[in-house]
A and B are shown apart, each in its own frame.
Chain A
Amino acid sequence: MPHQLTRNFCIIAHVDHGKTTLSDRLLEYTNTVEQRVMTDQHLDAMDLEKERGITIKSHPVTMRYHAKDGQVYKLNLMDTPGHVDFSYEVSRSLAACEGAVLLIDAAQGVEAQTVANAHLAFGQKLKVIPVINKIDLPSANLDLCLKQLEDILTISAEEAILASGKAGIGIVDILEAVVQRVPSPRWTDYAQTRALVFDSLYDSYRGVISYVRVFSGAVRAGEFMLLMSNSAKSEIKEVGVFMPKMEKTASLGAGDVGYVVSNIKDPSEIKIGDTLTLSAKPAAAMLPGYKEVRPMVFCGLYPVETSDYEKLKAALGRLRLNDAAFVYSSESSVALGFGFRCGFLGLLHMEIIQERIRREHDVDIISTYPSVVYRVVKHGDVTIEVDNPVNLPDPGEILEIREPTIKAAIHIPNDSMGDILALIMEKRGVVDHTDTLDATRVMLTCILPLNEILVDFNDRLKSVTHGYGSMDYELGEYRAADLVKMEILVNADPVDAFASIVHREKAEGKGRELCEKLADIIPPQMFKVAIQAAIGGKIIARDNVKEMRKDVTAKCYGGDISRKRKLLDKQKEGKKKMKQFGRVSIPSDAFIKVLKTN
């Protein structure tokens, strides 16, 4: 099939605006998937994705569509991850397309992610097809949606297609629009073979399977491919397409979307956004947009049960196979024992990995306080990156600490403006400008330190807006800030797991809160135990653990000795599971509880 009859597109939307249902309708209509297997097929996603209403992995599908012009088109539908943490992956999936269907929930209107996704699509110079979805809902407000389309997204309302994935309305219109409005594959006449790697999958038998969009030339089994970012060379074992299951084909040509199996077994060698070419006739230049993905958020992950260390290690190894953006290395903590320092693209990514470790790998884990990557400028013009407060140099060596910021788009109802402004101020944010979305909603564009949104920002946003607020963000620049390392001391010994880098003005409040929580959670001790928060040796907050008052058996005669010994033995075994801080025994779940209540 000539590439003129191929269309590559994706569907982009805010969470819950109906992307999955609409995709299913397209697959059904084109008979890509039979209706009765449909449910099983499209639910082939992780529980977590369903729960959070987001897609973590991309699944491309090739459809055949008999268009009204009498031609049969090959439509490649690219799925895109639905969260800002994965914005680079989204951008690579978009880069594999020429068009995007932008879904807007007729009842919800334009939301934070709608705007962010639309901008990503414009950035990739995609043809955007606006679709107002769920028009059959009683609460649908078409006029508003169309107005927002023009005002906020600067797309002509005339282009909008009215649809309902659920009721099957507008499906043909969408398919026709894809054929008519989306351009045929670009850059096909480049002299050498070039294919964009937009995702990969690890298969324990076949090694790493790359998902590719071929722009020019062709790839076929038996040839040697070359990955241009790292010059990795490997024989191509198999190529194929997604129908939606993988189907082997003789070759993949210009404009095609499919997969490539090679000899590469190490997932870290296949980089999202890389350009695949042929080693016999390599391309002179890579496809645009490749970036080395770097984790932005770090935390320590430790097994709750020491004996689960190996199990956790294996779990991290397996997760990494399918998620090159996730990195880890071993570390140890006085408080928590042996564990791993893990890096993530963002908060959601971190939460998802942690949940998967717990659910899919059945390891109970504890996470230390998350940290962003700071840039520390030292004397002598040396800049180092620090992702663990423990590694922060002595204050005397530091000239300046810079922290990453984000540019956030926050959509809120008008009436929560006051609360949100207070929240942004509390989080050291600055509002850049405000846009009115409609009579009841506004969008704030603001700059916030990434560190400040790590823990509870989204929850608080949801809480003050009664669930109506939403936020999307992109990473901004590094900015200098008055940051200090705050340590928590138990009986004058620093506890590494609680060290954090905080803004100087917030240190005291946070220190007091942590001391109070620890003093409350640590069970009564035999000896006096002080919990202190300190900055560079200066105590800024303190509290005391309760002293044990009474633990004595009243009756202890000849007949009681054996029984008493058993009881004491049990108590003693319990104590062995505790962490020793000098004379103080602290159960490891005390740290867990403190970290969890944060």
Chain B
Amino acid sequence: MSGLGTEQAKASAAAAHSGASAAEVPAPLGLYVHVPFCASTCDFCAFYQTQPTAGSVDRFLGTVRKEAELVNWDRPVHTVFWGGGTPGLLAPRDLGRLAEIVRAHCAGVPEEWTVELAPTTVTAERLAVLREAGVTRVSLGVQSFQPALLEALGRQHTRDRIFRAYERIRAAGFASVNLDLMFALPGQSEEEWAADVREAAALAPDHLSTYCLTFEEDTKLWVKLSQGRVKLDPEHEARLYEATWSQLEAAGFAQYEISNFARPGHICRHNLNTWRMHEWIGLGPSAASQHGGWRGANVSDLDKWWTGVERGVRLTEDRVALTPRLLAEDALIFGLRMNAGVDLAAWRLRAPEAPWATVEDSLATLAAGELLMREGDRVRLTTRGRLIADTIGTEIMAAFEPLLETA
């Protein structure tokens, strides 16, 4: 574990760097578009996706346009993120059409516009269309540089394809490039993972996301896990986390969230805004929104989604009303995942009705156990705390409902 001093210094720098506090208005607004098409399903993927059929892309684009018309755009969009699925599976012409819909709701060009691309979809033509449209950031789904692991994950690309794709993206001149990597893959050794991180850093991207493999329900990996063919090993995963963090720090990438690292000036603002419990609008099947007083997700079914929108209805799931108290709770649970932590003062102002006394007790307990640090009104997790951020999340959650706790 690194000394608290360094960690505090780093976190303070990150806090200063990330700027705005929760109390400021108007809060940034994000736009997420879910492109639900994939050529095949990866073993680890739990995102909603389907194979494109003749006419389905056209209908998808038409429906996104209609859905956008159903939204109450109360202010211009600041950041855009296209995810999936595989947005790069769209033909260049279709990418252009989707970009047009998006731009209609931005005041000029958004500050940050990210598109996720799989290495196999990266062509000069697509990149040109995106660059032309105003996309500022490309996130490349590398996952691994090891051929055997790529194969095992069911990915379609080869190692060479990654390098070619990266060169093309750099050549197209995007302001920011991210590489996605995965670790704790079945059969992956600690050395193999360190080699992946080394290779990724050597490419000198602006941003890196490293994801510990999660076993999500409804994935092929889950099936394997539940049949005992894949074993979870938290100790091994913890070591990989720690190794990643120190390796990337040494390579000049500052960690700003559990799984995210950036060179100065390249933090993903779209994601930062979600962790700060600002607002965003989601278009497309399964896309989540937090906007206009509610949080929820579009129905995770292409058919249901477009039939609904065509009737003028956005069918949503898990819909909840947003209250300052809920947002304050989530700002803590999700904000503590960031190295900069959370500014309690701003949230205390915004949600005075929240049970702050219990929350403070809980935070004090966490601090006593060296899982959390406190500096004035700013709280953040220690390295050890960050590794058990979910458990800490449940503690925070419990603290927010003291009336339901029985002695």
Q: Take A562-B297, A562-B320 as given contacts and tell me if A555 and B237 are in contact as well, using a CB distance cutoff of 8 Å.
A: no
CA distance A561 to B275 in the complex (A): 9
Structural contact, B288 and A561, CB atoms closer than 8 A = yes
A550 x B369 contact (CB < 8 A): no
Expressed in whole angstroms, the Cα–Cα distance for A203 and B389 within the complex equals 60
Are A550 and B334 interface neighbours, CB within 8 A? Answer: no
Interface centre among A549, A563, A564 (most CB of B within 10 A): A549
Given contacts A553-B214, A559-B32, contact A572 B397 (CB under 8 A): yes
Question: Chain B 7-35, CB within 8 Å of chain A: the 1/0 string?
Answer: 00000000000000000000000101010
Q: Closest approach, in angstroms, between the C-beta of A588 and any C-beta of chain B? A: 14
Q: Is A568 touching B211 in the complex (CB atoms < 8 A)?
A: no
Q: Is the CB of B287 within 8 A of A568?
A: no
- Considering residues B34, B258, B282, which has the most beta carbons from chain A within 10 angstroms of its beta carbon? B258
The residue on A at minimum CB distance from B278 is: A558
Shortest distance from the beta carbon of B360 to any chain A beta carbon, whole Å: 15
Instruction: Given the known inter-chain contacts A526-B371, A527-B369, A550-B241, please indicate yes or no for A569 contacting B397, CB distance below 8 A.
Output: yes
Q: Which residues of B contact A527 (CB under 8 A)?
A: 369, 371
A245 at the interface (CB under 8 A from B): no
A572 to B211, CA, bound (A): 24
Q: Which of B354-406 contact A (CB under 8 A)?
A: 365-366, 368-369, 371, 386-395, 397-398, 405-406
A565 at the binding interface (Cβ < 8 Å): yes
Q: Which of these, B234, B368, B393, B395, contacts A549 with CB under 8 Å?
A: B234
Knowing A550-B235, A568-B333 touch, does A558 contact B282 (C-beta < 8 A)? yes
B63: CB under 8 A from chain A?
no
Interface: A280 (CB within 8 A) = no
Residue picked from B30, B34, B395, most chain A C-beta under 10 Å: B395
User: How distant is the Cα of A576 from the Cα of B334 in the complex, in angstroms?
Assistant: 22
Are B280 and A558 within 8 A (Cβ)?
yes
- Asked whether, in the complex, the Cβ of B212 is within 8 Å of the Cβ of A571, the reply is no
- Contacts known (A526-B391, A571-B394); A561 close to B214, Cβ less than 8 A: no
Is A554 close to B, CB under 8 A? yes
Within B287-331, the residues touching A (CB, 8 Å) are 287-288, 290, 295-297, 318, 320, 330
| Bound: A310/B175 CA distance, A | 68
Min Cβ gap A552→B in Å is 4
Residue of B nearest to A559 (CB): B288
Look across to chain A and name the residue whose beta carbon is closest to the beta carbon of B30: A558
Give a binary string over A193-212; 1 marks a CB under 8 Å from any B CB, 0 the rest.
00000000000000000000
What CA separation (Å) do A489 and B398 show in the bound complex?
26
Q: A551-B391, A552-B386, A562-B288 are in contact. Are A572 and B398 (CB under 8 A)?
A: yes
Report A173-199 CB contacts with B as 1/0, cut-off 8 Å. Answer: 000000000000000000000000000
Picked from B213, B258, B280, B318, the residue with its CB within 8 Å of the CB of A552 is B258
| A 523-555 binary contact with B (CB < 8 Å = 1; else 0) | 010111000000000000000000011111111
**B394 A554 Cβ-Cβ under 8 A:** no
Q: Does A428 touch B at the CB level, under 8 Å?
A: no
Smallest Cβ distance from A476 to chain B, in angstroms? 46
The reply on B158 being an interface residue by CB < 8 A is no
CB-based contact B258/A575 at 8 Å: no
Q: What's the Cα separation between A576 and B405 when bound, in Å?
A: 8
Instruction: Tell me if A556 counts as interface (CB < 8 A to partner B).
Output: yes
Query: Smallest CB-CB separation from B277: which chain A residue?
Result: A561
CA of A552 to CA of B244, assembled, Å: 15
* B330–A561 CB distance below 8 A: yes
Residues in A neighbouring B290, C-beta threshold 8 A = 558, 561
* Residue interface mask B259-286, A partner, CB < 8 A = 1: 1000000000001001100001010001
Q: Which residues of A contact B (CB under 8 A)?
A: 524, 526-528, 548-559, 561-569, 571-572, 575-576, 583
Chain B residues within 8 Å of A, Cβ to Cβ = 30, 32, 34, 211-214, 234-235, 237-238, 241, 258-259, 271, 274-275, 280, 282, 286-288, 290, 295-297, 318, 320, 330, 333-334, 337, 365-366, 368-369, 371, 386-395, 397-398, 405-406
Given contacts A552-B258, A571-B391, 11 further A-B contacts (CB under 8 A): A526-B366, A526-B371, A527-B369, A549-B238, A549-B387, A553-B389, A555-B214, A558-B288, A562-B297, A571-B394, A576-B406
